[in-house]
Structure 1
């Protein structure tokens, strides 16, 4: 049992660790799920409208691409730092600070009068969004190792549900002006901040925080992580998975339009379909599948499904078969991310989890920057290439995952 485990009531008041047992898992998991869900609803409200809003200020296609990439760039730069700071000072303060930053970012976005203000707003939102690995570390703090993948899956489900509900709300509000969805997202983040302030307990012990303060912040941690074969391999796998999926996301609408003749509304429905599948997989199935097969085998299974799914996307004879192919990608992505995150958290000590998970998300952000760039470039050469090359990247990830199984054995 972790230090402070018997002092639940007093610990919550002082921001200390939660006790072991059923109560240790259920209440914090529900609260962090709700916190992440509301945050992602706000993010999802704004995301689909961003290109249209930017065009009202005369943005070019390149500027819109840079505006989209600015968010991921900030996540790439700041996630290791946020994660390491959460090891030193606790998960709760960093999560609260992130919610405050998100609210301010959405507010600036909604009140923007020039394109450069939109860039400033997305930069602030990206810095605030860099705290996501801290929520993963929170899950790692309050779950036992054998329940870790299920907990990570719940966070993935919160992401999926947020991306389902958020764009729908944004679409409903868009006829009233592109600023209105952003202002609603700001209000939701502010409400979420108040909720988390009163309801979200600290998950990390004082002792773990003291140990973390004696450790280096980021660069030395990076060298240490890469010196561990298993951790380094998991980080590489996470990059490949994120790169391939982001590459697909960036060119999904173009393939739907030019290969299958689908409208923007039909593409939105397919995005919702993928989001629903990922939410169900991560919220319901991941815990059971990982418990039976283990994280290592689940990673291999997920990457193999993405190999077939991505490679077959341009070759479907009709939309019904196309939906089945998308289900392969949804299952592969849905099982991969929580399995990799769970295995990473189990490969490090509690006072290093935030930093390592932050490093993983930074690697993922790099994939989200490079993936769309690669997809746009290769689609211009041949509409099949983003998906065939994405499948090739995932084939390499599959071979690497077999090596990971050897380390996990």
Structure 2
């Protein structure tokens, strides 16, 4: 293989921190509104049950748009480059936040979520960007750095959002829109292109079909079984994400500040593990074993979340569940190694489509369950039933991973 010129190599290495900053700004804006959006929905809902159902609908629509648009953005980035697709997506996110800031009704909030879901699919392009500029051996660690950027975004975003919401419930949305504008300027003037013209592929409509993208991923040699592992694990996580803020409100009386603080803790743990410990743990355990250990940690944590009677216990569980943060980059690393470099955009789009399917299904599981128990006494164990379902979904992923670990292609992974 021919070596890149030193100037080109330096440029490609410098692109990694550039894309991490872009992802950080995106997640920061997203994190700002997480502890606040349920409260905004509550302003127009009649009761807690209605609030849960509406929030579940908004989350499902958001996931549906990601499912439809993720492979499209991935395929377009394979054809035209990563940079223009990222810029267009960041602009759309800013529009989403601005609509939420001015939303006079649930209908407008729904429209904003449609736009936001379509443009938030750019994370598949960010993953493809990282795949462009890293070797196969370093990709799992690089995906971990993106996970760390997510973690930092969740460290700062929810705390800032909760603080701003004390001043005015709409203020976090204006702030998030401003961040998106700043992110667009950063991308326009600083972010370099990662995919040279000679490595670009022709746009194929089949690659923009979300179902075709999923079928193509499942057909990859030695990867099909990992798709099921990834799907069940992500479904458990997205059920948790869907109900976390409302659950804290219903069971512990949390407001935006308290919800922001809990998400702050989750972000700290994720950033420390994926940004600092991930490389060491992958070298020690390998990707397959690391993934399984993360799953076991998550199963125990979900059960404990459902049984917790005091709010401080939730913080202890978040901290104790730090090993769960290694599972997602480990799975992504295993899958990425099996994919041709020219198809990284399509493959990452397909993974994001799996996330989007789970984002559609998760609210349909979590929101109705939470609505049914929203009026029960806070000490009733049934309020935590949604987390027991999460534990069951994660257990399925773990059992599937155990079956795969016996295969020769994964024994050294």
The TM-score range, normalised by the shorter chain, is: 0.7 to 0.9
1:33 Cα deviation after fit: 1.0
Separation in 2, partners of 1:329, 1:78: 32
Conserved? CA contact 1:277–1:331, under 8 Å? no
The residue number in structure 1 matching 2:301 is: 309
1:43 equivalent in structure 2:
30
The corresponding residue for 1:217 is 207
In 1: Cα distance, 2:346 partner to 2:244 partner: 33
Q: Does 1:149 align with 2:136?
A: no
| Residue 61 of structure 2: aligned partner | 70
Call closer, same or farther: CA 1:256–1:51 in 2, change over 3 Å: closer
Q: Which residue of structure 2 lines up, in the alignment, with residue 30 of structure 1?
A: 17
Q: 1:215 to 1:66 in 2, by over 3 A?
A: closer
- Find the aligned partners of 1:319 and 1:181 in 2 and give their Cα distance: 25
Distance 1:113 1:57 in 2: 9
Question: Aligned runs of 1:92-107 on 2, under 5 Å?
Answer: 92-107=83-98
Query: Which sections of structure 1, spanning at least 5 residues, go unmatched?
Result: 10-17
SS of the counterpart of 2:354?
helix
Tell me, what secondary structure is at the counterpart of 1:347? coil
8 Å Cα contact 1:99-1:128 kept in structure 2:
yes
2:342 is paired with a residue whose SS is coil
Cα distance between partner residues in 1 of 2:62 and 2:242: 15
For residues 203-226 of structure 1, the C-alpha deviation after alignment (integer angstroms, 9 at most, x for no partner) is 11222213x547942444433322
- Return the offset for 1:329: 3.5
2:75 maps to 1:88: no
* C-alpha distance in 2 between matches for 1:199 and 1:121: 28
Point out where structure 2 has 5 or more consecutive residues left out of the alignment: 374-381
Residues 242-281 of structure 1: matches in 2 within 5 Å? 242-252=234-244, 261=252, 263-264=254-255, 265-281=257-273
> CA separation of 1:25/1:204 partners in 2, compared to 1, >3 Å: closer, same or farther?
closer
Tell me the equivalent position of 1:126.
117
- Counterpart CA distance in 2 for 1:287 and 1:146 is 11
Q: Which residue is equivalent to 1:115?
A: 106
In 2, Cα distance between the equivalents of 1:235 and 1:55? 36
1:12-51 Cα distance to aligned partner (Å, 9 max, x none): xxxxxx52xxx35642111111111111111122232222
Correspondence for 2:410: 408
What CA distance in whole angstroms lies between the structure 2 residues aligned with 1:378 and 1:324? 25
Alpha carbons of structure 1 residues 25 and 305: separation in structure 2 relative to 1, 3 Å: farther
In structure 2, the CA distance between the partners of 1:251 and 1:65, relative to structure 1 (3 Å rule), is closer
1:325 equivalent among 317, 322, 336: 317
Q: TM-score, normalised by structure 2?
A: 0.86
Aligned length: 393
**Residue deviations 1:36-90, cap 9 Å, x none?**
1111111122232222323444574233332233222211221111112211221
CA distance in 2, matches of 1:120, 1:251: 21
